[in-house]
């Protein structure tokens, strides 16, 4: 597939690909389903758009018969998130093209506005960023991070990119790796946690391991130990439940350092906890790496975000603590 560098007013840049021998004689709708798994909803949008579907530069219907070598073009109308107020914000852009934007989100900021919290979100900053560049784009986060978790967030720039990336998320083919520092030592240097997670009855915002919860899978690997008091751990998610890493690490007796919501009293009373509070004021959890296939080109993407300053300070503290 290829795209033009610039889009005209009202439409995103066209997405184009050339029909191959296996497409010959098939209807356009069938080709699009086979080649890119296009959803029924998006197909309807393209059919009703003036420039939505074309073959060799000519507008066609969705049942148009395709021949090998035909150039198929999809063009979607632009949208903008009218309810999200643009707000100047420093953004750490890790990757951007016509189809997606990947940011390194700082801790202390939520991804999307919520009731009573309409400003100072990542969405406000992104809308201002696009507005300043004269782009009309709707804010479409493919996944989210907790307010006090830092790291990589993918934002789709048009409906097809969102569909393709969301499908990869659902299929579990997106590699999401986190770096964290926890109290104690996990039972194994490398292991898997398969414990269902559900809402706590007394506090519906809090998640706990419970038999009737949703299946949840977390893989971990210990990369450093600091006496028996703390460990550096790399995490890979098999599922994506709310607060999954925080709940799973607490469930094996190793709550994340700085996580007051899922802390354990025995660790909060230690000398280490007192020292930690001087260098980090949130859970020490960072979405460090993402691996996925580009939603349009199919290219394998591997993106990384370095540890933020507060987690680097914590790491240095733990290294000194280990020597004491």
What residues are annotated to the active site? 146
The owner of tokens 């798994």 is 37
DSSP 151-201: EEEEEESSHHHHHHHHHHHHHT-SEEEEEEEEES--SSSEEEEE--EEE-S
Query: Which phi-psi region, left, alpha or beta, contains residue 37 (left: φ > 0; alpha: ψ -120 to 50)?
Result: left
Here the contacts of 64-68 (C-beta below 8 Å, separation 24 or greater) are 64/27, 64/28, 65/25, 65/26, 65/27, 65/28, 66/19, 66/23, 66/24, 66/25, 66/26, 66/27, 66/28, 66/31, 67/19, 67/24, 67/25, 68/19, 68/20, 68/21, 68/23, 68/24
DSSP 87-136: ------EEEE-SSEEEEEEPTT--SS-BTTB-SSSHHHHHHHHHHHTT--
Exposed / middle / buried, residue 231 (Cβ in 10 Å: 0-12, 13-18, 19+): buried
């Amino acid at each position: 597939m290829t795209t033009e560098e610039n889009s005209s007013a009202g439409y995103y840049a066209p997405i184009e690909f050339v029909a191959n021998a296996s497409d010959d004689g098939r209807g356009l709708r069938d080709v699009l389903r086979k080649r890119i798994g296009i959803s029924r909803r998006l197909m309807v949008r393209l059919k009703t758009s003036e420039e939505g579907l074309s073959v060799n530069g000519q507008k066609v219907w969705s049942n148009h018969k395709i021949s090998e070598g035909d150039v198929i073009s999809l063009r979607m109308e632009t949208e903008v998130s009218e309810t999200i107020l643009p707000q100047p914000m420093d953004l750490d852009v890790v990757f951007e093209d016509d189809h997606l934007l990947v940011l390194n989100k700082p801790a202390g900021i939520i991804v999307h506005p919520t009731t009573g919290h309409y400003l100072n979100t990542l969405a406000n900053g992104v809308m201002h960023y696009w507005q300043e560049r004269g782009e009309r784009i709707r804010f479409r986060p493919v996944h989210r991070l907790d307010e006090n978790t830092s790291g990589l967030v993918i934002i789709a720039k048009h409906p097809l990119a969102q569909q393709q990336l969301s499908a990869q998320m659902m299929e579990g083919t997106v590699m999401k790796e986190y770096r964290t520092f926890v109290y104690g030592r996990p039972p194994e240097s490398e292991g898997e946690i398969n414990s269902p997670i559900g809402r706590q009855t007394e506090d519906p915002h809090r998640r706990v391991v419970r038999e009737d919860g949703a299946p949840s899978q977390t893989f971990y690997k210990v990369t450093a130990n600091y006496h028996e008091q703390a460990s550096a751990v790399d995490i890979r998610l098999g599922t994506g439940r709310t607060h999954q890493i925080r709940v799973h690490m607490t469930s094996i007796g190793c709550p994340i350092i700085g996580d007051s919501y899922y802390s354990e009293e025995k660790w909060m009373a230690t000398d280490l906890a007192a020292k930690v509070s001087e260098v980090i004021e949130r859970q020490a959890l960072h979405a460090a790496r993402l691996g996925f296939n580009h939603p349009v080109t199919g290219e394998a993407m591997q993106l990384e975000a370095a540890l933020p300053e507060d987690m680097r300070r914590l790491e240095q503290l733990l290294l000194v603590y280990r020597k004491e």
